[in-house]
Structure 1
Amino acid sequence: MGGNKELFDVEKNDKLGRYAVASQDLKAGDVIFSEKPFAYGPKSDSPCLCLGCYNPVDCTKLCSKCSWPVCSDDCEKLPCHKDFECDVFSKAGVKFQPVEDPTDVCLQYECITPLRFLLMKEKDPKRWEAEVQPMEAHNDIRKTKPIWEFNQHNVVEYLRGPCKLDRFPEDLIHTVCGILEVNAFEARTPSGYLIRCLFPKLAILSHNCISNIHHAIDCKGTGDSEDFSVTVRAAIDVKKGAQLHSSYTYSLWPTLVRREFLKEGKYFDCTCERCSDKTELGTHCGTLKCQRCDNGVIVSTNPLDDTCEWKCTHCDYKTTAVAVRKVYAAIQADLDQVEYVVGPEGLQQRETLYKKYKSVLHPKNSYINILRSALVQLYGKADGYSLEDLPDIILERKVELCTQLLEVLDVIEPGKSRIRGMVLYELHGPLMVLARHQYQNDAIKKEQFKEQLRKAIDALGEANEILKQEPETLPEGQLSKITEQAYQQLNENFDMLVETAC
């Protein structure tokens, strides 16, 4: 933070353990702290990646020293590889074993990030003792789970055996694996691929399904110690002494899915305000439509009980949480099928799913919102669907999709959140084009046109205020340069835009 005071204090109690509170009143956008990761590297279940830049590789190029996959001579010289696993593997003579399909999960990579973690413990023992050692690994719970045996075979025995690192005790390696599983955060590389980073200060923030902070991880792409530093800001105004909450899960998921993810991966039951409310604070992210009556919706009778009954609000229809979870899983499987389909085909396939499920799901249901999030980005960008190509009825649909999504985000991701900034950016374009069309066709008067134009520019301005928080190495940060310039030009040329619209 360049020497600036960090704006949080650490407190502790028996229920929460360590947690962070604001040390002074915070305004939305205030920087609370920044930090470098203690360790970072491939996620668990990773395919084959370059161990320097983390781009996918076909494994034909290997490091000249250790014979593990890299994508170039430059990458094998990067400190994140050269000063860590490369040295260990080359001294022990442990070489990468050829794989049939480099895009499949490669279990050889399971050891990389724990190994870097262990080596950092030796390189920076003061930070380990002060920041990392107090972190929770949940070894008592993890010993009863399949993950323990998985790590025993793929990490512990591999490092202590072939890699000749028996100076690290088994319990310590398991603890390192547990700390990573429970506390690591995902980060995107400049190419868009995901790795995991351990930020000890960020991990202190307790979980809440409605976060009041926003974190942005900056990858400078150099591979040195500056890589993947995180900056944590207040997403909303926060009073002095209030807890600072991060979210460990995806905000658009419904409660059943979020709580299952947290229970299985983070080893706790979330009882936050959103999880405790059967309507998810009025967003109805988990609500289904009743198929027995016209006006009823199906909600949980006890959202903190993952096995309870779900009932219709208008008739006597009942079902189980297990059945609802199966519905969610089927829908998620459909979404997974189209996740990487882009262009006109991706747009059409998602519209098909939207129509398929709108009779089953509440209009604000999570899976409808996930589809909205994808559609608002495709309309205006896919070939044949640029803003100037779209008829008014489709422009109105994009505005509607953005507006409906923002209504939910106002509750579940309030304030200066990345997704809100992106949706506001997507909203401003169709608002402007629609207003111009309506004015040109005499559907609205000049004053109304000016109001609509100002509304669009204000949406762009708010998007810019959010996106400028994003690192320039990420797409959102790059977009902020465009939004800032466009916002400035639109304001400066507002009168001319009005006069030349006809």
Structure 2
Amino acid sequence: MDLFEVRKNDKVGRYAVAKKDLKASDVILTETPFVYGPKSDSPVVCLGCYNFLETLNVCSKCSWPVCNSECESQSTHKDFECETFSKAGVKFQIVDDLSEVNLQYECITPLRLLLAKEKNPTRWKEEIEHMEAHNDIRKQRPIWNFNQHNVVEYLRSACKLDRFPEELIHTACGILEINAFEARTPEGNAIRCLFPKLAILSHSCVSNIHHAIDGKGNGNVDDFSVTVRAAVDVPAGGELHSSYTYSLWPTLVRREFLRESKYFECTCSRCRDKTELGTHCGTLKCQRCDNGVILSTNPLDDQCEWKCTHCEYKTNAVAVRKVFAAIQEDLDQVEYVFGAEGIESRETLYKKYKSVLHPKNSYMTILRSALVQLYGKADGYTLDDLPDLILERKVELCNQLLEVLDVIEPGYSRIRGVIFFELHGPLMVLTRHQYQNEVISKEKFKEELRKTIDILGKSVRILKQESSSLPEGQLAIVAEQAYEQLNNNFDVLVETA
């Protein structure tokens, strides 16, 4: 039974509240997507399993990309766009580079949504029809003309689907743009899923729920089910908040993203606070004085003045946004750089921006998140390779990261589970070294070892919520095995340290 109820008011429309007092990790709801498919801006992927295709193979019936005959027969392809494309004689136009964004894919998921409306009219009326599409706003944006050409005209003309009115197709596009959630296949490829119940939950930049999508997609319409749990304790009648944006971004960036992609201005408690609830995710260091930091004078005004807390220095939100964009560009350059080179390149950026950004600024937090997951895994940087000084640095980075996450991703959040796992390893090695070097007593060693195992236990409790088909779910399995072994062999560990 779902543990939420839907309410409505004139300001936000529909929203959800807890039916009863919820404890962290309580299941609030589970559901299967009404429809799912490729994201906007998708490269060429298999329309059965969504794997990237290195060489083009096409469906024997509709001539659109699939991996093989097994993927060709998946119901989400066979019973939807395959039938439409086959009847209309619309074939995929071959391209030189399969890895580039392919505009032919823009129509796939909207088409699936329109066909699902015909197949499930009752569910459409009860669950989908009420969703926001914001056609009035989107008509004023380039996305409207983009969809008009790449989706509306293509479906109505080339695909011979003029039974769907133009406005309805635009509505389908808008519903997906505003309400769909990203999911990952077992191979890590991103798709989008439309969950009617989950979409009811209103947005906050500090979410109090956690959703986990099962990535075991078999091409059936009920794949990619989602489980929504309470991330923290929520009282009966308390509003349930999801997050439609990346929590680690600063307010300027989050609000811009929400305005451009979800068509609303966020005014949540975090966005209203100049210090972002004390995290200082958007704060810069003043370059004119020693102790000052630069804060927005009005976080809800993206054109406002920003001022130093200690001197007369002033700038504005536009200039700050340019600084953030330049930093993001540097981060993008190293996003897919791993191993020793990945560590070194991020440490270089960390040093570069240490004098510019507040220690807890979002971009410092993002760098810490990457570094703690690289230290201990790269060749030459395994836990056994690392000197105590670097192990201590990894511990420090984890603790600094958790200080921010405790506020903006509280409770049972995926990233906190990962960071707890990353923290326990260096703590165990450092504690053992301290005992071996007689820095701490045997009793203190046992006490610290037990604390470290408890940290691993926190990781297990959080990550067990993830699908075993996804990396975090696989990490949960490893973490749980390690946790059980450490508990079962605690005395042996102490005696053989």
Aligned to 1:136: 132
> Matches of 2:440 and 2:164 in 1, distance apart?
73
Query: Do the aligned residues in 2 keep the contact of 1:220 with 1:226 (CA within 8 Å)?
Result: no
How far off is 1:58 after superposition?
A: 3.5
Matched, 1:89 2:85: yes
Superposed, which structure 2 residues align to 1:197-276 within 5 Å? 197-276=193-272
Could you tell me how far 1:110 is from its partner in structure 2? 0.2
Instruction: Give the TM-score, by structure 2 length.
Output: 0.99
Equivalent position of 1:189 in the other structure: 185
**SS at 1:21's partner residue?**
strand
1:250-279 CA distances to partner (integer Å, 9 max, x unpaired)? 000000000000011111111100000000
Question: Quick check: 1:96–1:108 contact (8 Å CA) kept in 2?
Answer: yes
The secondary structure found in structure 2 opposite 1:203 is helix
State the Cα deviation string for residues 165-196 of structure 1 (Å, max 9, x = none). 11111110000000000111000011001011
Residue 67 of structure 2 aligns to a residue whose secondary structure is coil
Report whether the alignment pairs 1:172 with 2:172.
no
The letter of the residue matching 1:80 is T
TM-score by length of 1: 0.98
* Aligned equivalent of 1:151, options 143, 147, 153: 147
Aligned length: 497
- Aligned partner of 1:342 among 333, 338, 341: 338
Deviation for aligned residue 1:395: 0.3
Does the aligned pair in 2 maintain the 1:62–1:71 contact within 8 Å? yes
Tell me which residue corresponds to 2:375: 379
* Code of the aligned partner of 2:109: T
Q: Distance in 2 between matches of 1:221 and 1:135?
A: 25
Q: Contact 1:208/1:246 (CA < 8 Å) preserved in 2?
A: yes
Equivalent-residue separation in structure 2 for 1:302 and 1:484 (angstroms): 46
Paired residue for 2:326? 330
Partner of 2:449: 453
Give the letter aligned to residue 432 of structure 1: M
CA contact (8 A) 1:61 1:69 kept: yes
2:53 corresponds in structure 1 to: 57
Q: In structure 1, what is the Cα distance between the partners aligned to 2:451 and 2:457?
A: 10
Contact in 2 for aligned 1:67/1:96 (Cα 8 Å): yes
Whole-angstrom distance in 2 between the partners of 1:77 and 1:383: 42
Following TM superposition, by how much is the alpha carbon of 1:80 offset from its aligned partner in structure 2, in angstroms? Answer: 1.1
Residue 475 (structure 1) aligned with residue 482 (structure 2) = no
Separation in 1, partners of 2:6, 2:479: 37
Match of 2:413 among 412, 417, 420: 417
* Greater alpha carbon shift after TM alignment, 66-75 vs 243-252: 66-75
1:278 aligns with 2:274: yes
Q: Please give the alpha-carbon distance, in whole angstroms, between the structure 1 residues aligned to 2:109 and 2:327.
A: 33
Q: What is the match of residue 45 of structure 1?
A: 41
Displacement of 1:306 in angstroms is 0.5
% of aligned pairs identical?
Answer: 76
2:11 aligned partner: 15
Provide the secondary structure at the position in 2 that maps to 1:87.
Answer: helix
Q: After TM superposition, list the pairs within 5 Å mapping 1:289-304 onto structure 2.
A: 289-304=285-300
Residue 486 (structure 1) aligns with: 482
- Helix, strand or coil for the counterpart of 1:161? helix
Determine if contact 1:114/1:177 at 8 Å carries over to the other structure: yes
Residue 108 of structure 2 corresponds to which residue in structure 1?
112
Which residue number corresponds to residue 428 of structure 2? 432
Please give the alpha-carbon distance, in whole angstroms, between the structure 2 residues aligned to 1:225 and 1:111.
18
Does residue 316 of structure 1 match 2:312?
A: yes
Deviation readout 1:3-32 (Å, 9 max, x if unpaired): xx1100000000010000000000000000
Q: Secondary structure at the match of 2:158?
A: coil
Q: CA deviation at 1:221?
A: 2.8
In the TM superposition, residue 59 of structure 1 has moved relative to its aligned partner by: 4.9
For the 8 Å contact 1:59–1:69, the answer to whether it is kept is: no
Please give the per-residue CA displacement for 1:33-76, whole angstroms capped at 9, x wherever unaligned: 00110111111111111111111114521111111111122111
Inter-partner Cα distance in structure 1 for 2:419 and 2:80: 41
Distance 1:367 1:35 in 2: 34
SS at match of 1:311: strand
Output the CA distance in 1 between the equivalents of 2:125 and 2:469: 32
User: Are the aligned partners of 1:27 and 1:234 in contact in 2 as well (CA < 8 Å)?
Assistant: yes
Is the 8 Å Cα contact of residues 59 and 70 (structure 1) preserved in structure 2? no
